[in-house]
Structure 1
């Protein structure tokens, strides 16, 4: 990995949230971001409709990175309904989420298309956040590392160790995400994460874990060797929830082997991810 000094803690809102919600969430996050979270790199991936509005609140100087949930591999053209990497960058994105299992299952994001999107994102100077993960059947059959390694290998084809910004991989087992996801144990994920880091670490910024991450399991996940952070879903869909997880991660790092000063708690906000 290119930089082990930061732990990445972020969330994607998926297809949720209005502009009013997005502005309120971003305003509350900005109010807390001034003090920062030692050792943590926060990132936020709202729907495309809210990206510019959130960017206007958080930039410049908040330290919170913004991402898009998807982008096309072409710069421009007759691609009705799509957004290019340049367009999401223009709206404030510095990350692009690529290859989430929902995109792969419902919108035809094959390994080949994921690879094209990774290269397009890098060409534009943005950081790809590549999601990979195996099915429950593959997990039960002991094929997790094999399946995930193939996905990462395809996504990173042609990416060199000196590429900047370096990509991030988020390992998200399909069986552990969504409404009916089963919470993974550290033992469930350790071998697969270690395999990703060992085989591709020279080309990656970090390997994150995502899948039913919450306050109860976050610190155990962060203690798994080679895990460089967490990509969180519904547990961070309220401002209170996200701030709590950022605080917890920073405090956990401070109590581990890095002597970081922990900021004092502040009043949490009660913004919820609902449409107004």
Structure 2
């Protein structure tokens, strides 16, 4: 099984900056790296640029940070999964905690978007994670499992879904790196589900990536700002070997 190593650019990088990043990754990865599945998730404006720079059939997957559950319609400001695929995306990030907190993403919409990605042959990357309050109350694993089960419920191929475990208290500018014992219960709960792989994300960097990759139940890393520099991203890919 390959280790998944990827990053989301979030709301950073112009098209030229994204293309430069992708070109460096293409040169470093070549025809692929045994045992590692790299992926890049740029902003929507740069998806086609990144996909085109990586080239057709690239071993590096391009993704989108969000897509609607309907194939088309009057959904101002949204993009559909077919549109994402047309731009070169092969992966769809769904349900990030920022989307849940600020854009009314719910377990129901996460499930609908997961179904849409599967319907069109794209890989859903479903983000799940608990708040600090849930963790401190001893409910972290239950919250995370409930989110993941809701996303997988009724799907045509739950074994094609990637789960990204990103504790809310560990992500973002003010997040803190986890201790192994803090994330082990949620990882154990996710390992029981029929997903393709479980990735960990949340204050990942070159210092903690080696031991995070060795945790039971972790099949990859979903990295934020620590991978916005392409050299750091390539170093993280090398750690996945």
Same fold (TM > 0.5): yes
Runs of 4+ in 1 over 4 A off after TM superposition: none
Deviations 1:227-263 (A, max 9, x none): 100000011001111011111222xxxxxxxxxxxxx
Provide the rounded CA distance (Å) in 2 between the counterparts of 1:81 and 1:184.
35
Q: Secondary structure at the match of 2:233?
A: helix
Number of aligned positions between the proteins: 241
Provide the rounded CA distance (Å) in 2 between the counterparts of 1:35 and 1:186.
34
Counterpart check, 1:179 vs 2:173: yes
Determine if contact 1:67/1:96 at 8 Å carries over to the other structure: yes
Alignment of 1:84-233 (within 5 A): 84-160=80-156, 163=157, 166-198=160-192, 200=193, 202=194, 204-233=195-224
What's the counterpart of residue 62 of structure 1? 58
Determine if contact 2:61/2:90 at 8 Å carries over to the other structure: yes
Provide the rounded CA distance (Å) in 1 between the counterparts of 2:111 and 2:230.
33
Q: Secondary structure at the match of 1:8?
A: strand
Unaligned runs of 5+ in 1: 251-276
Please, what TM-score do these two structures have when normalized by structure 1? 0.85
Unaligned runs of 5+ in 2: none
Provide the rounded CA distance (Å) in 1 between the counterparts of 2:69 and 2:159.
17
Provide the rounded CA distance (Å) in 2 between the counterparts of 1:36 and 1:149.
33
When Rg is computed on C-alpha atoms for both structures, the one with the higher figure is: 1
Determine if contact 1:22/1:50 at 8 Å carries over to the other structure: yes
Deviations 1:151-183 (A, max 9, x none): 0111111025xx287000000000000001010
Q: Secondary structure at the match of 1:37?
A: coil
What's the counterpart of residue 273 of structure 1? none
Please, what TM-score do these two structures have when normalized by structure 2? 0.97
Q: Secondary structure at the match of 2:40?
A: strand
Q: Secondary structure at the match of 1:142?
A: coil
